[in-house]
Structure 1
Amino acid sequence: MLRRLYDWTMSLAARKSAEVWLGVISFVESSIFLVPADVLFLPMALARPDRAWRYALLATVTSVLGGVAGWFLGYYAYESIARPILEFYGKAEAFDQLRLSVDYETVVLLLITSGLAHLPPIKVVTILSGVAHVNLWLFIVSAIVARGGRFFLLAWLLRRYGEPIRHFIEKRLGQIAAAGAILLILLYIAYRLLAH
């Protein structure tokens, strides 16, 4: 099923309505969809490098709006809507364990790491942010920084290096972003230890 979703998402890049689809995928990825918007963003930005910044802005805005929708799901409709979505993806148990083991500051850190590196998946953290009652404005600013940082970095890399960087991004960017996320987490842990 995941492979079919991936292939379908890739096929959208060739359509005239690709920008609309990029907005839709970016929006739903942040709250309920499994395939990251990068899958559509990369081929679009490679095909039209002159529009890479425009695509990055579109993906950032719609991703943040989707994150806000996920926040509202967690805040107002966790049991009736958000939990069934998490159960559908087999993430409900992991979500419950995460929810019981993290504090407010950790949720904000997870929001940044998931926005940059999908660790954990962004949809899980947006819902968790609502459940944990993270301040909505703090949530929005964090999402803009994390998601905007990711999409604008991809746009810059694609404009600067073109097609050769695509393979690197598809194979290694997740690992680099994960390393950055781990570094952020370690810095946070060190801060917490020094503060106590």
Structure 2
Amino acid sequence: MIKFDSIYKKTIELSAKPAATFYLFLLSFTEASFFVVPPDVMLAPMCLAQPKKIWRLALIAIIGSVLGGVFGYFIGMFGFNLVQPYIEQYGYQSHYELALQWFSDWGFWAIFIAALTPIPYKIFTIAAGVLVMNFPLFLIASFLGRGLRLFGVACFVKFFGRRVDYFIQRYINQLGWLITGIIGIVIIVEFLTN
């Protein structure tokens, strides 16, 4: 049986290591263009482990994420034919079609909302490149959306710090299994509806 409390403690330990900042940047970059794990998962424990560096860590995550979004934009602009089979294979086709619809309806706001929420931002960055969205607007929307989201995580940890840590340590196993169950249900629903 998985013990999420030991995984959480190990994450906190690793978050205090010097190389963790690079991994936070790398995770933020890759999540915005092709990877599935959001930077929030690493940012929050790092902020708990290094409370004096909270704003710096949030800024690193934001910069990494926006640069990853730019990479996604260029994937869409120059290499969409290479990634389209993966979008279909991993079940993101409906998200991609939604992104195209949102761009035709809302443009700037589509990127902003995707950058701010748990909607797969990477799909929107690629779609923005495919549709050759106005690049300065793309950058502004990405920076504002990711900035609000990741600075929001940092603020949450800053103001509730040890209480958040206490809550997580006390309920980590229940939270871990709850999240695992939700992910499992989403996968099953996605499989059954495709």
Return the TM-score normalized by structure 1.
0.73
Q: Say if 1:113 and 1:40 are closer, same or farther in 2 by CA, change over 3 A.
A: same
The letter of the residue matching 1:123 is K
In structure 1, C-alpha distance between the alignment counterparts of 2:161 and 2:102, rounded to whole Å: 40
Q: 2:142 maps to which residue?
A: 143
2:86 match? 85
Q: What is the number of residues matched between the two proteins?
A: 161
Q: Which residue of 1 aligns with 2:120?
A: 121
User: Is the partner of 2:38 in helix, strand or coil?
Assistant: coil
- Judged with a 3 Å threshold, the aligned counterparts in structure 2 of structure 1 residues 97 and 156 are, in CA distance, closer, same or farther, namely closer
Q: Deviations over 1:63-102 (max 9, x none)?
A: 000000001111111112x3133234221x3145325534
Classify 1:103/1:142 alpha carbon distance in 2 versus 1 (closer, same or farther; 3 Å).
Answer: closer
Q: Which amino acid aligns with 1:104?
A: S
Which residue pairs with 1:130 in the alignment? Answer: 129
1:4-15 correspondence runs (5 A) = 10=11, 12-15=14-17
- Normalising by structure 2, report the TM-score: 0.73
2:73: which partner in 1?
71
Quote the RMSD (CA, aligned, Å): 2.5
Q: Structure 1 residues 85 and 13 mapped into 2: Cα distance closer, same or farther (>3 Å)? A: farther
C-alpha distance in 1, partners of 2:100/2:73?
A: 17
Q: Deviations over 1:94-143 (max 9, x none)?
A: 1453255344342422211121112x211111111111211111000111
Residue 164 of structure 1: how far off its partner (Å): 2.0
Query: Residue 31 of structure 1: SS of its match in structure 2?
Result: coil
Relative to 1, partners in 2 of residues 1:99 and 1:53: Cα closer, same or farther, differing over 3 Å? closer
Percent identical pairs in the alignment equals 34
- Structure 2 residues without counterparts, runs of 5 or longer: 1-6, 176-194
> Is the CA contact 1:41–1:55 (under 8 Å) kept in the aligned structure 2?
yes
Aligned position for 1:164:
163
Q: Distance in 2 between matches of 1:140 and 1:66?
A: 11
> Residue 18 and residue 88 in structure 1: after superposition, are their counterparts in 2 closer, same or farther (change >3 A)?
farther
Q: Tell me if structure 2 keeps the 8 A contact 1:115–1:122.
A: yes
Shift of 1:163: 2.8
Q: Given residue 83 of structure 1, which amino acid in structure 2 is its aligned partner?
A: Q
Separation in 2, partners of 1:154, 1:63: 14
Aligned residue runs from structure 1 range 17-96, under 5 A? 17-80=19-82, 82-91=83-92, 93-96=93-96
Question: For each residue in 1:162-196, what CA deviation from the matched residue of structure 2 results, as whole angstroms up to 9, or x when unmatched?
Answer: 0323558x97xxxxxxxxxxxxxxxxxxxxxxxxx
> Which runs of 5 or more residues in structure 1 are unaligned?
1-6, 172-196
